Amino acid sequence: MESALQSLTTEQPNLESQALDTKSALEIATIINNEDSKVAAVVGKALPQIAQAIDAVADALARGGRLIYIGAGTSGRIAALDAAECPPTFSTDPKQVQFVIAGGERALGRAVEANEDSPKLGQCDIAKVKPSKKDIVVGIAASGRTPYTVAALAYAKKKGAKTIGVSCNSNSLLSQAADIAIAAEVGPEIISGSTRMKAGTAQKMILNMITTGAMTRLGYVYGNLMINVSPTNEKLVERAITILSKAADTSRTRAAEALSKSGRSVPLALIMLKTGASVGEAKRRLKAARGNVRRAIESSGSAKPSDTR
């Protein structure tokens, strides 16, 4: 165990942060910021694999499958955050993007790291959500060797699910267990072994790319506008009106009217504004386009010019 950990780049001492405990607050913040600035470039080297993951997730969701994250500790908590953000951002069903974390949901607020050493627990926990060939399972582990996560991914693969491994060390056990291996080698952490830092940042960036990319491919984004947002409070209603006004190049008054007529469905309101369709027709178009708003708008061959009065 000791030799295996010592060989990982994420566990190596960081020469830039030696004597960190003797530095001023500004010096500490500067050192951390300098190291953090390297993360995006490292993630950039994995873009081809991230693109594969985006297409694989979009394909699974389009076929009625699920995206299931699994991880332990920091990795599991980052996965949980990304899964929790998908419904309010893209109006996805909570069952579409799920997370499994070692120790269960109580591990979100309390460290139960001992569970990550158990392959059996990993297999049992992923088995509870019944992964199938329709699903895609993403294992996240900074080290790439977490027994819980590696075993869970292997189990999901055996059940026919497509698998993705996200780690911060190359040639890891997690990468070997995955159909698509994404490795962002961020190197030594500011505090040796504290993978909640650069490794956690890299993982957050990668998961953001995967879900945002997949949802965009599915048509839940129009241009660069979040047109699948759920307007469930006053702030989000205002945001929805602004989005509709921009997307349809129309007045806020007209955008608000369309949003109201659509039953607060931003996609339906946009289709109505762009094509002149009734609510019923907009629903039929959106269903025929399998939720892809642009396809629903363009299905008639041309969009109706917006009334900008």
* Active centre residues (catalytic): 85, 116
Task: Please tell me the distance from the alpha carbon of residue 100 to that of residue 138, in angstroms, as a whole number.
Answer: 10
Gap between the Cα atoms of 159 and 254, Å rounded: 50
C-alpha separations of 235 from 209, 231, 232, 239, 249 in Å = 25, 8, 8, 6, 21
Of the candidates 96, 41, 44, 90, the one whose C-alpha atom is nearest the C-alpha of residue 67 is 96
Could you give the CA distance from residue 67 to residue 214 in angstroms, rounded to a whole number?
A: 10
d(CA 165, CA 174): 6
> Taking Cα atoms as reference points, which of 250, 271, 214 lies closest to residue 83?
214
Residue 21: burial class (beta carbons within 10 Å; 0-12, 13-18, 19+):
exposed
CA 155 to chain centre: 22
The two structure tokens encoding residue 261 = 């007529």
Cβ(189)–Cβ(195) below 8 Å: yes
